[in-house]
Amino acid sequence: MVQIVIDGQETEVEVGTTILEAAKKVGVKIPTLCHHPDQAVKANCRICVVEIEGQKLLQPSCSFPVWEGMVVRTNTPKVQRVRSNVLELILAHHAQECLFCSRNGNCELQEVTQDMHFTREVRYTNETRHGKDESSPSVVRDTNKCILCGRCSYVCDKIQSVGALCKEGRGFSTKLSSAYGKDLADSTCTNCGQCIQACPVGALTIHDDTEHVYEAMEAGKHVIAQVAPAVRITIAEALGENPGTVNKGRLVTAMKRVGFDKVFDTDFSADLTIMEEGHELLNRLQNGGTLPMVTSCCPAWIKFCETSFPEELPHLSTCKSPQQMFGALLKTWYPERSGVYPKDIYSVSIMPCTAKKFECVRPEMNSSGYQDVDKVITVQELANMICAAGINFADLPETEFDSPFGLGTGAGEIFGATGGVMEAALRTVYEVVTGEELEDVDFNAVRGFEGIKEASVDLKGIEVKVAIAHGLGNARKLMNAVKAGEADYHFIEVMACPGGCIGGGGNPIKNWKKMEKRLEGVYAEDKKLPIRKSHENPYIQKIYNDFLGEPLGEQSHKLLHTTYID
Ligand code: HC0
Ligand code: SF4
Ligand code: SF4
């Protein structure tokens, strides 16, 4: 431990603590822009400078460790003058479009500008304008708003191991670019949206598709929505409530008031996925199929696998994601029940995920003869629609999800967290293989935020070894082991986003503290439900009896399974 003094306050902190962290401990807020609590230090923006007694130059507090007896001043006139000059240069470089920027009111540059009471005129101008990159269905890149903090390229490279973003040029002409200057859509970008989550300003944002949904409503289409497991976990947070607040009933009411004709629950098709994927796993185990089998419900993971591990594609389950299974049913089975022609249906998915926008436009996702899912709207976009409609989300009555897909189980509910798909599969596979009831459905070994989790499950004499990776950097490690023949697992779950879909790029901006609360919300919802195993969902049993036949059967194969591009 070392003793230090910050703005006259004595304190004791651990060796290696930065001045920024020590200041936080004594309640002193130092402005930062490039600093991110989940990332390594970059010291790019220099707005966090402080004075250290005995040092001539100001030092960036985010990268400067304390030492015994250090005396720091964070708010001298010199510090404030230098910070203002740094901020002025950043503002001169940044497009002044705050009023109609999607980060307006939720922008760290605005917050720092306000906190510092920066009200003087900016003395410099920047005439250089760059074109917006709107090529990606998921992420919009606006270089004019970039403040070169380096947070997006850090997450893309160091956490996701994709490396699709980089800085280009020198000095004043430095700009954020995608690798080799390509459009994002033509790059190795997986559409995960983690760079959006990391960006402090509006330089990386969600590709907004709300206009298309309004147009479909105005055109009198039968506009139906499916709502992903993670959406119920984060929508209230997106509308200003505490992280982890879950209320499905208010969500359905709000969506009806926004103008959706029907609101269905993706938990239903998560259960369907378990039926298909569980049987596929058993089939591979019993008939010498490619093992380990790897989950296929995350579209960012699929693109990553197609790009970085094309020779390992036979490991991927052939199951479509729950979103796309539901999409296929909504334009085949549902028209038969509802009497609405598929051509008149506009099918919208509400997702925590930007990559789902990419998944729904993949050319193979048209088993119904139409594009199965017409548009994907993220949690942030839905929150904007609810706000724009003048709805007070906190004060709504509750409505049930619509039938005929009315019921999801606890197994579907946990899909939104890392380890959830695996746990849901184990609950079903155990009972199918052993023919016995699983008394304790909680598989705690596959829960939590450890980067790679492993577990072994005894199915009455048959040992099934499983692994779970979240974040593409962890997925890369696991797949390298598979490639080298060093992974003796039977089943692997991969989700591209750290934490799983509750950490998806389309959610409100996250940190790990919020993620803990979201995770608690997921398992609390699972516990509340009367049915917690997918195969016990009576609606699933009914759809197999009435329409699909059996898991892995002909009709299921046509509507619920897919192929990959190598
Ligand atoms: Fe997910 Fe999904 S669990 S990927 O995270 O499998 O987006 O929530 O909807 O499709 O169900 C996202 C979340 C889903 C799908 C489901 C899966
Ligand atoms: Fe990288 Fe994901 Fe952003 Fe694409 S969406 S640039 S893969 S962080
Ligand atoms: Fe989307 Fe979930 Fe995959 Fe993230 S982990 S890219 S939110 S499907």
Output the CA torsion sign for 180, 186, 191, 193. positive
Each as own residue / partner, the long-range contacts of residues 337-342 (CB below 8 Å, 24 or more positions apart, any chain) are: 337/404, 338/222, 340/222, 342/368, 342/369, 342/370
Distance CA 224, CA 164 (A): 35
Residues 195 and 155 sit within 8 Å (Cβ to Cβ): yes
458: tokens are 């005894």
Residue 348 is predicted with a pLDDT of 98
Rounded to the nearest whole angstrom, what is the distance from the C-alpha of residue 503 to the centroid of ligand 1?
11
Q: Which residue has its alpha carbon closest to ligand 3 atom 3?
A: 298
Distance CA 157, CA 106 (A): 25
CATH of 2-91, picked from 3.30.870.10, 3.30.1330.10, 3.30.429.10, 3.10.20.740, is: 3.10.20.740
Please tell us whether the domain made up of 211-560 is placed in CATH 3.40.950.10. Answer: yes
Distance CA 154, CA 142 (A): 18
C-alpha pair distances (Å), 161 with each of 197, 278, 366, 548: 16, 30, 31, 39
- pLDDT tens track of the chain, all 566 residues? 999 999 999 999 999 999 999 999 999 999 999 999 888 888 899 999 999 999 999 999 999 999 999 999 999 999 999 999 999 999 999 998 999 999 999 999 999 999 999 999 999 988 888 889 999 999 999 999 999 999 999 999 999 999 999 988 887 788 888 888 899 999 999 999 999 999 999 999 999 999 999 999 999 999 999 999 999 999 999 999 999 999 999 999 999 999 999 999 999 999 999 999 999 999 999 999 999 999 999 999 999 999 999 999 999 999 999 999 999 999 999 999 999 999 999 999 999 999 999 999 999 999 999 999 999 999 999 999 999 999 999 999 999 999 878 678 999 999 999 999 999 999 999 999 999 999 899 999 999 999 999 999 998 888 999 999 999 999 999 999 999 999 999 999 999 999 999 999 999 999 999 999 999 999 999 999 999 999 999 999 999 999 999 999 999 999 999 999 98
With a 6 Å cutoff on the Cβ, whether 200 touches ligand 1 is no
With a 6 Å cutoff on the Cβ, whether 233 touches ligand 3 is no
Give catalytic residue positions.
Answer: 277, 280, 297, 317, 356, 359, 364, 501
Distance CA 47, CA 147 (A): 12
C-alpha pair distances (Å), 466 with each of 392, 444, 490: 44, 13, 6
Residues 202 and 142 sit within 8 Å (Cβ to Cβ): yes
Residue 113 is predicted with a pLDDT of 97
Residue 169 is predicted with a pLDDT of 85
Rounded to the nearest whole angstrom, what is the distance from the C-alpha of residue 416 to the centroid of ligand 1?
6
Rounded to the nearest whole angstrom, what is the distance from the C-alpha of residue 62 to the centroid of ligand 1?
37
473: tokens are 């950097």
Rounded to the nearest whole angstrom, what is the distance from the C-alpha of residue 347 to the centroid of ligand 3?
20
Residue 178 is predicted with a pLDDT of 87
Please tell us whether the domain made up of 128-206 is placed in CATH 3.30.70.20. Answer: yes
DSSP assignments along 75-90, one per residue: S-HHHHHHHHHHHHHH
Residue spans of the domains in the chain: they are 2-91, 128-206, 211-560
Distance CA 276, CA 320 (A): 9
Distance CA 496, CA 89 (A): 36
With a 6 Å cutoff on the Cβ, whether 192 touches ligand 3 is yes
Distance CA 226, CA 221 (A): 16
Residues 415 and 424 sit within 8 Å (Cβ to Cβ): yes
Burial of 178 (C-beta count, 10 Å sphere; 0-12/13-18/19+): buried
Element (H, E) at 211: helix 210-218
Residue 131 is predicted with a pLDDT of 87
Q: Which residue has its alpha carbon closest to ligand 3 atom 2?
A: 501
Chain position carrying tokens 């200041």: 23
- Ligand nearest to the backbone CA of 518: 1
Pocket test for ligand 1, best of 353, 373, 526 (most atoms within 8 A of CB): 353
- Ligand nearest to the backbone CA of 408: 1
Three-state SS sequence of 4-47? EEECCEEEEECCCCEHHHHHHHCCCCCCCCCCCCCCCCCCCCCC
Cα–chain center distance at 69 = 44
With a 6 Å cutoff on the Cβ, whether 494 touches ligand 1 is no
